[in-house]
Amino acid sequence: MKRMINLAPSRGGRWLLGLLPFLIIAMVYFSLSSARLAENPNDRLLPAPATMADTFWSMASEENVRTGQILLWADTLSSLERLLAGVAISALIGLTIGIINGGVPMLRAKLSPLVTVLSLIPPMAILPILFIAFGTGEMAKIALIVIGITPFLIRDLQGEALRLPDEQLIKAQTLGGNSWQILCRVLLPQLTPRLLASTRLALGSAWLFLIAAEAIAAQEGLGYRIFLVRRYLSMDVILPYVAWITLLAFLLDQALAWTSRLAFPWYHANEGDKS
């Protein structure tokens, strides 16, 4: 008998094993849902899968009577706009300050303590300030995402920059590089894949801040819709929306992972299991 740490499933087996927990959760839900519906056909708490599919389909295909928009797509579009704008701005700031902090000791001495303190402020606690400062429009929501995840990105990239072997910086200097060139050609390209990796991790928080901001003040958006229909106990809308958000988050995450593997093969050279 081989040791447990040496036993690995085959490729097909891995898919099946990965699917298993999902199947179990689905089965548990089906049985609970049908049990409740058998008792009370008007139960709203655990709607039947068919009901959810119907509702979701109508939200994805029928125009809203009042606004003339198709709700699901309008919500998705505005939420994604906010999320992507927030994440893109954060990534840009994070990369810039991360490189500067990691590469230039004189600037690190000035900025690093500030970043550490800022990263400890709970972003939700300053949401009211953002609403007061930027109004309840798009700005405040994007700002919340930026404030929420930028400090994390900066700290992560700064750490990565400091972990680069000194040998590389010395070598670049012996090859005639000046400070700016070394930041551009040694630090920047080596931190970019790390930025993708840490952005993947930060996406979870980004979604959290987005939904929170939408829940409080918005006219449309995935988070807004969920919190709106909560008043009517419309689990048949909420559950598919949650699944939809999860799917979007998963696709974004995979897109970043895939981009990173494609664009920076050298960064992924030492990864073990590729699954």
Partner 1 sequence: MSLLEAKRLEKHYGDQVVLERLNFRVEPGEFVTLVGASGCGKTTFLKMLLGTERSSKGELLLDGKPIPNEPGPDRGVVFQKYSVFPHLTVLGNVMFAEEMRHSRLFGKAFGGTRRAAADKARERIAEVGLDHALDKYPHELSGGMQQRLAIAQALMMKPRILLLDEPFGALDPGIRVDMHELVTRLWQEQQLTIFMITHDLKEAFALGTRLWVFDKLRHDPQAPQAYGATITYDLPIDARQRQEGVPATFAESGIKTLTQETLL
| Distance from chain centroid for Cα 39 | 40
Kindly state the smallest distance separating residue 60's Cβ from partner 1, in Å: 43
Would you give the binding string for partner 1 spanning residues 137-166, x where CB under 8 A is met? Answer: ----------------------------xx
Listed residue (84, 72, 87) closest to 221, CA to CA: 72
Kindly state the smallest distance separating residue 183's Cβ from partner 1, in Å: 9
Options 73-81, 118-126, 129-137, 175-183: segment touching partner 1 (CB under 8 A): 175-183
SS3 185: helix
Q: Rule CB under 8 A: is residue 96 a binding residue for partner 1?
A: no
Tokens describing residue 206: 């980004």
Q: Rule CB under 8 A: is residue 185 a binding residue for partner 1?
A: yes
How far apart are the C-alpha atoms of 69 and 275, rounded to whole Å?
A: 40
Cα-based distances in Å from 61 to 58, 156, 173, 229: 5, 42, 60, 18
Nearer to partner 1, 86 or 193 (CB): 193
Kindly state the smallest distance separating residue 161's Cβ from partner 1, in Å: 13
**Burial level of 267, CB count in 10 A (0-12/13-18/19+)?**
middle
Angle, CA of 78, 155 and 110, to the nearest 5°: 115
How far apart are the C-alpha atoms of 129 and 220, rounded to whole Å?
A: 22
Nearer to partner 1, 4 or 262 (CB): 262
Residue numbers 28-87 binding partner 1 by CB under 8 A: none
Q: Rule CB under 8 A: is residue 175 a binding residue for partner 1?
A: yes
Kindly state the smallest distance separating residue 179's Cβ from partner 1, in Å: 10
Q: Rule CB under 8 A: is residue 190 a binding residue for partner 1?
A: yes
Nearer to partner 1, 14 or 185 (CB): 185
Q: Rule CB under 8 A: is residue 218 a binding residue for partner 1?
A: no
Q: Rule CB under 8 A: is residue 177 a binding residue for partner 1?
A: yes
Angle, CA of 65, 210 and 136, to the nearest 5°: 70
Kindly state the smallest distance separating residue 265's Cβ from partner 1, in Å: 7
Q: Rule CB under 8 A: is residue 184 a binding residue for partner 1?
A: yes
Options 7-15, 117-125, 182-190, 251-259: segment touching partner 1 (CB under 8 A): 182-190
Report the half-sphere exposure of 157 (CA within 13 A, side-chain side): 35
| Segments in the chain forming alpha helices (H) | 11-39, 49-61, 71-103, 105-120, 127-134, 138-163, 166-174, 179-182, 188-216, 222-229, 235-263
Contact residues for partner 1 (CB under 8 A)? 165-168, 170-178, 180-182, 184-186, 189-190, 264-267, 269-270
